[in-house]
Amino acid sequence: MRVRPLALLLLAACVARGPAIVVRDAYGYQPVLGDVGAVYFTVENRAGTADTLTWAEVAGAGVAMIHEQVADGDRVVMRHVGTLPLPAHATVQLKPGRLHVMVEGFERSPLAGDTLLVTVHFARAGAVRVRAPVLAYGTEP
Partner 1 sequence: MTAVRMTLALTAPLCLLAVACEARRAPSAGAPEAGGESAAREYPNPRPKPDFTLTDTEGRPFAFRQATAGSVTLLFFGYTNCPDVCPVHMANIASALHKLPDAVARQVTVVFITTDPERDTPARIRAWLDHFDPRFIGLTGSQAAVDSAQVAMHLPPAYKEDLGGGQYQVGHSAHVIAFTRDGLARFAFPFGTRQSEWAQEIPRLVAYPDQP
Residues that bind partner 1 (CB under 8 A): 29, 31-33, 35-38, 67, 69, 72-80, 96-97, 100, 102-103, 136-138, 140
Whether the CB-CB separation of 127 and 119 falls below 8 Å is answered with yes
Output the CA–CA distances (angstroms, integers) from residue 21 to 30, 78, 82, 102, in the order listed: 27, 26, 19, 22
CB of 62 to partner 1, least distance (A): 13
Residue 103 or 120 having the CB closest to partner 1: 103
CB of 19 to partner 1, least distance (A): 27
Residue 59 or 63 having the CB closest to partner 1: 63
Residue 74 or 107 having the CB closest to partner 1: 74
Residues 6+ apart with CB under 8 A from 34: 106, 109
CB of 95 to partner 1, least distance (A): 8
CB of 39 to partner 1, least distance (A): 9
Output the CA–CA distances (angstroms, integers) from residue 141 to 91, 101, 138, in the order listed: 18, 16, 9
Residue 2 or 80 having the CB closest to partner 1: 80
Whether the CB-CB separation of 52 and 92 falls below 8 Å is answered with no
